Chain A
Amino acid sequence: MLGYIVKRLLLAVLTVLLICAITFFVMHAVPGGPFNREKALSPATKEALEARYDLDKPLVTQFFLYLKNLLHGDLGVSLKNGREISAIIKESFPISAKLGLLAVTVALILGTIFGSLAALMRNKLPDRVIIFFSTLFTAVPSFVLETLLLLVFCIKLGWIEVWSANSTNYLLPVLALAAYPMAYTTRLAKTSMLDALSQDYIRTARAKGVSKWKIIFKHALRNSLIPVITYAGPEVAYIITGSMVVETVFTIGGIGSKFVQSINNRDYTVIMATTIFLATLMVVANVICDLLYKVVDPRIQYD
């Protein structure tokens, strides 16, 4: 177990380093530097500025300097408005984190409930309805669904106020963000529940006269949760990229909409820092999921 954890953590650190390297060198391929203004600087001034910011050093040295700064929490400044990127992240991340965590929870819990219901009422009306909607939701691009939700509930019906400084209703954004992973979890939970229900130990328990609900909750549900937990890793990744869309559509000032803004403004330092930040988050979430998976299912061997 310990060996596995160490190996997994090493892979994670290596991945983060790889991401930093890709981001750094890819961004350096962009033509033009930070001092390319409309008014050309004199060569002497430019040289002095480049020396001041270590831009005259070899690229590899610059990369290690960048890594060192990252480790100190210094993500650089925005090219467009000169703000500290770490300050931007500190201000916008809590909103996104709340949105994302709520969406993950909603998707996992509701997905499991719907999936188990569909499996227990196989081929009956509730099963058909649940599977119909979960198939439908996996085929709608998220921004279309979100735009429609916003239009119907906020503007046409006026039930929920549009997101603004004094109205922060998480209901719609969370539901919109959770829709796709929830649909996927539902399908996953259904198949794994059906699988669990057909196992021999379920028949044994039923033969012994264990009550129906006890069988479902104690034996079937617990075992059917394992594939659902495996999906949690990719789900976090989906939620992080999905939150960019949700936050932009609902005009929520989270880190996702800041990222989309920086892409549209070609604000390279912000793109770079946010990519590294979000990617690290995904890698960490994946590690946690992998370890959790081993804890939940002791049958799995540690290689």
Chain B
Amino acid sequence: MAKYNENGTPKKNPLSLQINLQKFEKATDEEKRQQDVMSKSTTFFRDGMRKLFRNPLAVMSLVVLTLIIIVIIVAPMIVPYGYSDILSVDGKRDKGAKNLAPFTYSELEQEYIANGGERFPHIFGTDEQCRDYFIRVVYGTRISLVVGLFASMIVLLIGMLYGSISGYLGGKVDLIMMRIVDMIYSLPDMLIIILLSVVLNQVMSFKSGSSLAKIGTNMISLFIVFGLLYWVGMARLIRGQILSIKENDYITAARTIGAKPGRIIRKHILPNCISVIIISTALQIPSAIFTESYLSFVGLGVQAPMPSLGSLANAAREGLQSYPYKLVFPALTICLIVLSFNLLGDGLRDAFDPKLKR
């Protein structure tokens, strides 16, 4: 007896409980083609990026942020004025260049141009101390963005360290660490920032000319306070993530083969909550920029003559009726930056972590 049927399938023993393969038909070529994988296999990251780029608001904010960053990097190289320089023509101080409207020249400059000289236009006009306003806004944006990025980095670093230790160790350590977080969380952050700024202003002094002195004690104290207070939200978030990731089998597997806790946290846990971390960092930046502009309003902003968007907008409130554009430019820049980061953060959240809701 032949062991095989004509079509090559094995013959069924009549007594066997096996499925009768004769009842099956071979797939045609067309049917086989249906099983082909048509699209390229994607990774989690690539899939998220594709979703992000399909979100028009997120793409728009990415474009706006990129444009702003290009402008603040390139503009100081092109514009021949400094942020603290009083305008001068041919080495002579130009006292008429006070509060010029955008794209206008002072009398002295007009004379100079009439005599064949070339003068870079004052794109945003000038301020009450005869300084080019465009370059001040550019530097203000630089400062505000750096403050925002730096403050979020501090928050990220401390929050990640604290949250991952607390979440990974669990038990009593976690309980005590989280009570401390609760305590700090209930402190009114804004009041403490104001308090520390007031005091650190008096206590700290830096060598004049050093970069720390240029930013001023207020910004340093802002960073200190962010480092002391603002990390708790991040710590809580990361702890929650770690608590849920810790239960996965691959963590148990890693532990069985003797991986050390530090390695498990770095290699296995943190990469899995990276999307949550990135999203909340993106949302932290506008909040830091807001805090900075608020402090500028209260009179605890960056050290003059260094501009920040907040201090520029605040300074423009005086004489608002005559020179409204001086408020409009920095205020609009703040709005654009904050809005872009918010929308980008929302987009990132939708793309990478649809479960996470604010």
Q: Which residues of A contact B (CB under 8 A)?
A: 11-12, 14-15, 18-19, 22-23, 26-27, 29-31, 135-136, 138-144, 147-148, 151, 155, 187-188, 191, 237, 240-241, 244-245, 248-249, 260, 263-264, 266, 268, 271, 275, 278-279, 282-283, 286
Contact = CB atoms under 8 A, between A and B. Distances in A.
A263 B310 contact: no
Given A18-B183, A144-B327, A237-B188, A138 B342 contact: yes
B321 A282 contact: no
B313 A22 contact: no
B201 to A, nearest CB: 9
B317 A23 contact: no
Most interface-central of B195, B286, B339 (chain A CB within 10 A):
B195
Contacts of B203: 29-31
A25 to B, nearest CB: 10
B202 A31 contact: yes
Contacts of B320: 147, 151
Interface in B287-321: 290, 293-294, 297-300, 310, 313-314, 317, 320-321
Contacts of B358: 187-188, 191
A118 to B, nearest CB: 15
Nearest to A14: B183
B335 interface: yes
Nearest to A143: B297
Interface of B: 182-183, 186-188, 190-192, 194-196, 198-199, 202-203, 286, 290, 293-294, 297-300, 310, 313-314, 317, 320-321, 324, 327, 331, 334-335, 338-339, 342-343, 357-358
Contacts of B194: 263, 271, 275
Contacts of A31: 202-203
B335 A139 contact: yes
B299 A143 contact: no
A282 B192 CA distance: 13
B298 A244 contact: yes
A275 B195 contact: yes
Contacts, number: 116
Given A15-B187, A18-B187, A286-B186, A141 B290 contact: yes
Contact of A241 (B294, B327, B357): B294
Nearest to B338: A139
Contacts of A187: 358
12 contacts: A12-B186, A19-B187, A26-B199, A27-B195, A27-B199, A29-B202, A140-B334, A191-B357, A241-B190, A245-B294, A245-B298, A279-B191
A260 B194 CA distance: 10
Where chain B touches its partner, the secondary structure class is helix
B236 to A, nearest CB: 14
A144 B294 CA distance: 10
A28 B23 CA distance: 92
A141 B191 contact: no
B332 to A, nearest CB: 9
A18 B191 CA distance: 13
Nearest to B331: A144
| Closest 8 pairs (CB-CB, A-B) | A139-B339, A139-B338, A241-B190, A144-B331, A282-B188, A15-B186, A141-B293, A279-B188
Contact of B314 (A143, A155, A191, A264): A143
Contacts of A136: 335, 339
A288 B150 CA distance: 35
Given A11-B182, A188-B358, A271-B198, 12 more contacts: A18-B187, A27-B199, A135-B339, A139-B286, A139-B335, A141-B297, A245-B294, A263-B300, A271-B195, A275-B191, A275-B195, A283-B188
A249 B317 CA distance: 9
Contacts of A11: 182-183, 186
A22 B228 CA distance: 13
Given A18-B183, A141-B293, A26 B188 contact: no
B300 A143 contact: no
Contacts of B317: 143, 147, 249
Contact of B321 (A138, A151, A191): A151
Nearest to A279: B188
A141 B314 CA distance: 10
Given A26-B196, A275-B194, A282-B188, A263 B321 contact: no
A108 to B, nearest CB: 18
Contacts of B290: 141
B183 A260 contact: no
Contact of A139 (B183, B314, B321, B342): B342
Contact of B327 (A147, A263, A271): A147
Contacts of B313: 141, 143-144
Nearest to A192: B357
Contacts of A26: 195-196, 199
B188 A263 contact: no
Contacts of A27: 195, 199
A155 B321 CA distance: 9
B301 to A, nearest CB: 12
B298 A263 contact: yes
A265 to B, nearest CB: 10
B253 to A, nearest CB: 32
B17 to A, nearest CB: 45
Contacts of B343: 135
A30 B202 contact: yes
Nearest to A145: B331
A249 B182 CA distance: 34
Contacts of B334: 139-141, 144
B342 A135 contact: yes
* Most central of B183, B188, B202, B327 by chain A CB within 10 Å: B188
